[in-house]
Structure 1
Amino acid sequence: MKFLFELLSKLSVSGDESEISKFLLSNILERSKSWKVQPEIYFGEEFHDCLLLKFGIPKTAVFAHLDTIGFMTRYQNQLIAIGSPEVEQGMVLTGKDGMGDVICKIIGDDESYFHDFPRGIESGTRLSFAQNIRIDDNFIQAAYLDNRLGIYNALKLCETLENGWVVFTTYEEHGGGSMPFLLRFIQENAPIRQALISDITWITDGVEHHKGVVISIRDKFIPRKVFIDKVLRLAEKSRIPFQVEVEAYGGSDGREIQFSPYAIDWCFIGAAEDYVHSPNEKVSLRDLDSMIKMYQFLMKEL
């Protein structure tokens, strides 16, 4: 869990993923020495802050987004949401501008939010929920489990993966935008026909804690049934606990795969959390374990 705690401490509000990207690259270069297969690693200005790892001869890609929801400062102490954070009076935010570190609280009403920092914060500064990690025998609770757990799962997969792409994307929480050039690069270099989205979903009236990883049949977008049925058959074969999600809202990097010019099937698979997009996101450790095991199984079978 030490590495997960380090992940959770990094700031990466959408559009500002450089810090976590550099942290991941350094970690991957060190950890990959003990992985079953040494991947080809693609990074740099050509890919902005994204990272791509190519293992063997890929048939399937796993995508995990690096960014989080948050806020941007505006004039007269105003705050503008990035993504869709849940906001309550008094929530603590952290960040840094050209004059130093910032720790402040949210004030205001449902339509206009402000910060209470004793000086003006430079306009355009990104702020994140202050981190407070809590863990016991059953749950982990913190800010940004979405999508730090998706990243953690993807890196655990790398330890045993022989064939496949593992791709860390940006901008997902605020409209996307990195997937088109990533998909083009993949399809031009080692094309795939299927993809899994390593992300975190929601606890709802049909999805519960401790019941296993969630395989999503649909959110706002609907992947192809033939592929979903294939994933579900393999999940049954695995005997790893899982549950099925059917929702009318929400989205992920799967949306951009579906809207791309490439015939790539996709499926969202991830643990579910309570208190979504708040400082208190809560995930069952059993469900996280199921997520890790399911990805390792599926990437051998797909």
Structure 2
Amino acid sequence: MINKDLLKRLLETFGPSGNEEAIREVIREEIKGYADEIKVDALGNLIAVKKGNGKKIMVASHMDEIGIMVTNIDDNGFIRFTNIGGVSPYTALYQRVMFADGTMGVVGVEKIDNMKDLTLSKMFIDIGAYSKEEAMKKVNVGDVACFYAPFVQDGDYIMSKALDDRIGCYVAIEALKALKNSPNEVYFVFTVQEEVGLRGAKTAAYGVDPDMGIALDVTLTGDTPKAKTMEVKMGKGTAIKIKDNSVLAHPTVKKLMIETAQENNIPYQLEILEGGGTDSGAIHLTKSGVPSGVISVPCRYVHSPSEMVSVKDVENSIQLLVKVLEK
């Protein structure tokens, strides 16, 4: 059964890359009592340790979400901005954004004759201010905002901003709660700054020095009309990564995941993502190398304010992770 209250809190909490304080506290409160040790490292990664006598396993899911940063405020109170992570001008246009203090705005655009000319440099945020002075009472250069899109669940689908990668955080939290007996020492790491270059995973993996790495993230699907050809479909099972632009899943880890899914009758799909990456891209290159893989939740409309996943896929991802960690 999906925990709607937890999902709502995870998905709606503010947390663009480099500004993960609020979402980190939500997660810390939720996992309190389920881990033997909880700490925050120098970069801001939240690390929960489930102690054991076996190998060290690092499970990484990133807390941060895409967003925007204020670069200039003009005399009429309109705000120019740059992207934090992969923000497309086509998905950002006319969307609402929310700053850390709750200030709301809408993304507008200068007059353009052809939508092909749409770029972030021609766009602005309108917070309803009539002058620079009025705007600066609420927003300043360097302030960041996330997209505003409340959590929705209807039957088997969930729709929200920040499913990339709060749904991975949800999978990790529920697996941490469910994991009773693991022969290994498991480090559940909720990482920062994944959307701007896997930065939190890089430093966390160096500190943990794991024997194996597992990232939890979303992946694209090939099941919408005229989508780019891809085997993964929403609602058809958790996805076990073969490759993306950041990692070739280690054969040992890949085999472990596939065999575990088969042994436990967990629906799964094999994922080849021809773009993007996950925290495993940083983990597997740590020190002398770490065998790493990825459990992915199929997600439509990634990096938009209306990302969509299947409840069944989420539940199967949790089950697979728990069974893998119990081996």
Q: TM-score, normalised by structure 2?
A: 0.83
Structure 2 vs 1, CA of residues 255 and 268 (structure 1 numbering), >3 Å: closer, same or farther? Answer: same
Write the deviation string for residues 162-200 of structure 1: whole angstroms up to 9, x where unpaired.
44111111000111222233123212xxxx321111111
Report the CA distance between 1:111 and its aligned residue.
Answer: 4.3
Contact residue 47 and residue 182 of structure 1 kept, 8 A: no
Counterparts of 1:238 and 1:165, CA distance in 2? 24
Structure 1 position 23, deviation (Å) = 2.1
Indicate conservation of the 8 Å contact 2:97/2:107, yes or no.
yes
Cα distance 1:185–1:92, how it changes in 2: closer, same or farther (>3 A)?
A: same
2:68 is aligned to 71
2:140 corresponds to which residue? 122
Matched with 1:168 is: 190
Larger Rg: 2
Closer, same or farther: CA 3–214 of 1 in aligned 2, 3 Å: same
Question: In structure 2, the residue corresponding to 1:173 is in which secondary structure?
Answer: coil
Which residue of the partner structure matches residue 279 of structure 1? 305
Contact preservation (8 Å) 2:219, 2:273: no
Identity over the aligned pairs, expressed in percent? 24
1:207 is matched with 232
Residues 28 and 229 of structure 1: CA distance in aligned 2, closer, same or farther (over 3 Å): closer
Aligned length: 286
Alignment of 1:28-47 (within 5 A): 28-29=31-32, 32=33, 35=34, 38-43=35-40, 46-47=41-42
What root-mean-square deviation, in Å, do the aligned CA atoms of Structure 1 and Structure 2 show?
A: 1.7
Deviations 1:189-241 (A, max 9, x none): xxx32111111111123111111000010011313223322322222222100
Is the counterpart of residue 103 in structure 1 residue 119 in structure 2? no
Q: Which runs of 5+ in 1 are unaligned?
A: none
Deviation at 1:101, TM superposition (A): 3.7
Determine if the alignment matches structure 1 residue 179 to structure 2 residue 226.
no
2:12–2:151: 8 Å Cα contact kept in structure 1?
no
> Is the CA contact 1:132–1:279 (under 8 Å) kept in the aligned structure 2?
no
8 Å contact kept, 1:141–1:280: yes
Q: Residue 62 of structure 1 contacts residue 165 of structure 1 at CA under 8 Å; is this kept in 2?
A: yes
Query: Structure 2: how far apart are the matches of 1:209 and 1:111?
Result: 30
Question: Secondary structure of 1:84's match?
Answer: coil
Once the two structures are overlaid, the 10-residue window that deviates more, 61-70 or 195-204, is 195-204
Secondary structure of 1:276's match? coil
Q: Distance in 1 between matches of 2:150 and 2:29?
A: 25
Matched, 1:54 2:44: no
Which of 288, 294, 297 is 2:320 aligned to?
294
- The correspondence for 1:230, drawn from 243, 247, 256, is 256
Distance between the aligned counterparts of 1:71 and 1:185, measured in 2?
30
**Equivalent position of 2:276 in the other structure:** 250
Q: Distance in 1 between matches of 2:152 and 2:178?
A: 29
SS in 1 for 2:165: helix
Task: Report the Cα distance in structure 2 between the residues aligned to 1:133 and 1:114, rounded to whole angstroms.
Answer: 25
Work out the CA distance in 2 between the residues paired with 1:20 and 1:195: 23
- Is 2:292 aligned against 1:266? yes
